[in-house]
Amino acid sequence: ILNVEQSPQSLHVQEGDSTNFTCSFPSSNFYALHWYRWETAKSPEALFVMTLNGDEKKKGRISATLNTKEGYSYLYIKGSQPEDSATYLCAFMNGAGGTSYGKLTFGQGTILTVHP
Amino acid sequence: SAVISQKPSRDICQRGTSLTIQCQVDSQVTMMFWYRQQPGQSLTLIATANQGSEATYESGFVIDKFPISRPNLTFSTLTVSNMSPEDSSIYLCSVAGPGGYTFGSGTRLTVV
């Protein structure tokens, strides 16, 4: 059973604060690490797909880094806004052969609430 | 990326009954994935649905409980059979894409 852990479980910040969350995953059989944002009553939305150790990706005020050797990824939000309130999910994509290949294992998510 | 229409968006069902969830994709895709999120838990893969063959189920999920149909490359259904309160979850279908997976809007199921 693959272990994908996210911390913290929930986070309350004030508008304008910068924040970050952590995703830890197995350092073996790595293929890719996904980040998703899931707003209530909507579909999960893909933010980043990261594949290379040392990768840094950015989309507006949101950025992510990847360390495959130690098995962690950080998601950063700069200047949080109320519309950033959502659950942020990371998912580990397995590179092992056989029936495990390509499957996503999700963390439990970090629930972010940004207060005006 | 693909657009997925999923329905119903929510339902409240009596225990012992069955519910069929539908997903329609706006383009042809080889594999569709069905996920479940129980309260307080991670999104968990139920099965992978390929057109023209039987679905592949993950450990802990069986065809009798979660039968899946995949009649063509744009459509799939998941049935939750003989429901119990433990089946109360959000059910999501998804397809893979180069920028990550695209998900349906989810079916929020409550079993009473």
Q: What is the pLDDT of residues B89-102, one digit of tens each?
A: 999 999 988 888 99
pLDDT in tens, B7-24: 999 999 999 999 999 999
Return d(Cα B111, Cα B15) in angstroms, integer.
6
The answer to whether B4 contacts A43, with C-beta atoms less than 8 Å apart, is: yes
Q: Which residues of B touch A (CB under 8 A)?
A: 1, 4, 33, 40-45, 48, 56, 92, 96-106
> How many CB pairs lie under 8 A apart between chains A and B?
48
Residue A24, pLDDT score: 97
Amino acid at B37: Q
B99 contacts in A (CB within 8 Å)? 46, 49
Query: Is pLDDT above 80 for B74?
Result: yes
pLDDT in tens, A64-90: 999 999 999 999 999 999 999 999 999
Residue A32, pLDDT score: 93
Amino acid at A28: S
Q: Classify residue A116 as exposed, middle or buried by CB count within 10 Å of its CB (0-12, 13-18, 19+).
A: exposed
The answer to whether A46 contacts B56, with C-beta atoms less than 8 Å apart, is: no
The tally of CA atoms less than 13 A away on the side-chain side of residue B47 is 24
Return d(Cα B96, Cα A11) in angstroms, integer.
29
